[in-house]
Amino acid sequence: MPAHADTLTHPHIEAARADWQSDSPPSAGWVSVSLPDDWSSRWPEFDGVVWYRLSWQQADVAHPAALMLDYLNMAGAIYLNGSLLMRDRHLLEPLTRAWNAPRYQVLSPPLLREGTNTLLIRVSGLSQYQPGLGNVSIGDPDTLQRSYEAEYWLRHDLQLSSLAVTATLGCFFFALWLMRRQEAVYGWFSLMSLAWWWVALNQVATSPWPFASTDGWESANSIALIIYSAAFTMFSIRFCERRLPRIETVLWLLVAVGTIVMLATPHSDMGMTRAVLTVAQACSFFATCFAFLYVALRHGRTDHRILSICIAIFLIAGVHDLLTFLGILNDNRYYSALTSQLQMIGMALVLAWNFVASLRRIERFNEELNITVDAARAELANTLHREHELEVANVRLNERLNLAHDLHDGLGGTLVSSIATLEHAPHGIPSGRFLSILKELRDDLRIIIDTASTQRPGESPLADQIGPLRHRLTSLLESHGIECRWSIAGLDRCYLPPSKSIDVMRILQEALTNVFKHSRASQVEIELHSDERELALAVRDNGIGFDPAALQQHAGTGMRSMQARAQRLGGTLRIRSAAGLTALDMQVARAETEPMLR
């Protein structure tokens, strides 16, 4: 071959069969074949290795030459003058899936020799999947590199972009369908897209993983093609807003039968089974396409007609690929995966168009609804304003009542005890005692102010707050001949908001004030315990008692105040009385006290 000779594509080459373990070409059995070659038509049922041999004359090696192979099916290795140029990773099952990859290699000394050069191509293939070799070209490196780049762009790069578009649209509409299950057309479009993604992956996949063999991969690919065809039919039916129950049932029964048949087919029948199922799904697919085109052109909307153009283009590519798959066309290029981008994008745009149209209808409805809503809102605002004024009035009233109760139970009790002390000895009280009385009144007033200003948990435990009150009440009662016995436990771990603390103290203070004022008792017992289960208060005296029924009918301010405070604490207040014994018991359950414990 001259140094600057034009690139030459060799139409004829020699071929010879060998076994799977063959590492060198056989010495006999060579036959002349034409390229592209599919050895299953010459050696039916032969699975193994076929060696291809090409010899040519190179006159000058000062300028390198280049080698380009359109494809080899399924995996292979290439040798020049006995030296390895390139080799696929797996030449035994599971075979490397290099059937759609063009090959390019610059040939230069010392591999390239003057005179006779011999190119050997070892191809591992299975008879059920069109094994063989594509066109072989040797010549100018720049010319062949441009051809290789164009071929690689068509067979690999465009296929990858198609996969990306298909997967993106499929996942997007699947997520949209999950959020709007009533939009069945989104679900069928996503299933169709994801099934086609698996079919198109066959164009660029280099390994049968996750399957252990080529048969497993091809079976899964055929099943995905059947599912795609059925999902396309369902999408078309739903997109036309139709339901065809009988046809849909038969369709999915055929999908199930085809899947079972594909999984049960042995290797020897794989080629025929795939061909039959592919023709069957192609008939279903083409029938759906023609039916949709008819409906779109005769009765369809604008979006139907737009989609029909995309389907028509994909239909032409599908016919070409079917004829190529069946071996009717002597070609190795498949265009469905490329034109599917146009179809998928067209379908997605039409779905988006319909989605936007629905949004516009909703917006118009919302505009009409807003007028009614504005009127209702104005009426509701007036109603809420009146209710707010009532709530404010109720809050103020409750605040006045709470203040009245606090004054009655706190300052009132202190004043009663102070008045009683003054009446008992009006002229014999030292000035220090008067000062003490004023400080007690000040302390009660401070408690009332703290309660009104905050609801946060106190900084000191209940034990510290009960201490001064205990001392004061004990002094008051004992000064009038009433013996006090106190039992306090667990209060050092009980932290309450000021409002709850004062409720507990006011109940205790009111109870002991009643003992002082009305009971004529000589002894009173006070128990105040806090544990993991409850906060409990008990006050018992040995006074004259009273009639509980009469108390229920004519309860005074103090009794009503104690009941209200117990309810605010979330507890229960019980009062029992008889001659010689009056008992007041309050329990606040753990559910109410738990946030208060530390």
The CATH number that domain 155-363 falls under is 1.20.1070
Domain 394-596: CATH architecture, name and number where available: 2-Layer Sandwich (3.30)
Distance CA 74, CA 260 (A): 26
Q: Is the pTM of this model over 0.85?
A: no
Q: What type of residue sits at position 144?
A: L
- Kind of pairing between the strands at 8-10 and 483-489: unpaired
pLDDT beyond 90 at 76? yes
Distance CA 172, CA 236 (A): 19
Distance CA 399, CA 274 (A): 86
What's the rounded mean pLDDT across residues 115-131?
Answer: 93
Distance CA 76, CA 125 (A): 9
Q: What type of residue sits at position 192?
A: M
Q: Where are the domains of the chain?
A: 8-139, 155-363, 394-596
pLDDT beyond 90 at 1? no
Chain segment 214-251, per-residue pLDDT in tens: 999 999 999 999 999 999 899 888 887 788 899 999 99
- DSSP designation for 242: -
Chain segment 516-575, per-residue pLDDT in tens: 888 888 999 999 998 888 889 999 999 888 877 776 766 677 788 888 888 888 889 998
Q: Can you give the pLDDT at residue 330?
A: 65
CB 91 within 8 A of CB 76: yes
Tell how many helices (H) and how many strands (E) occur in the chain.
15, 18
**Average pLDDT, rounded, for the chain:** 82
Alpha-carbon torsion angle 107, 109, 114, 120, nearest 10: -50
Distance CA 253, CA 276 (A): 17
pLDDT beyond 70 at 332? no
Instruction: Identify which of 496, 475, 369 has the alpha carbon closest to the alpha carbon of residue 420.
Output: 475
- DSSP designation for 537: E
Q: Which SS3 state, helix, strand or coil, does residue 552 take?
A: helix
Contacts for 430 with CB less than 8 Å, ≥ 6 apart: none
Chain segment 369-420, per-residue pLDDT in tens: 888 888 888 888 888 888 888 888 887 777 677 666 666 655 666 666 667 6
Q: Can you give the pLDDT at residue 333?
A: 66
Chain segment 289-310, per-residue pLDDT in tens: 888 777 777 766 666 666 677 7
pLDDT beyond 70 at 477? yes
pLDDT beyond 60 at 455? no
**Domain 8-139: homologous superfamily in CATH:** Galactose-binding domain-like (2.60.120.260)
Instruction: Identify which of 546, 547, 544 has the alpha carbon closest to the alpha carbon of residue 521.
Output: 544
Domains 8-139 and 155-363 share a fold: no
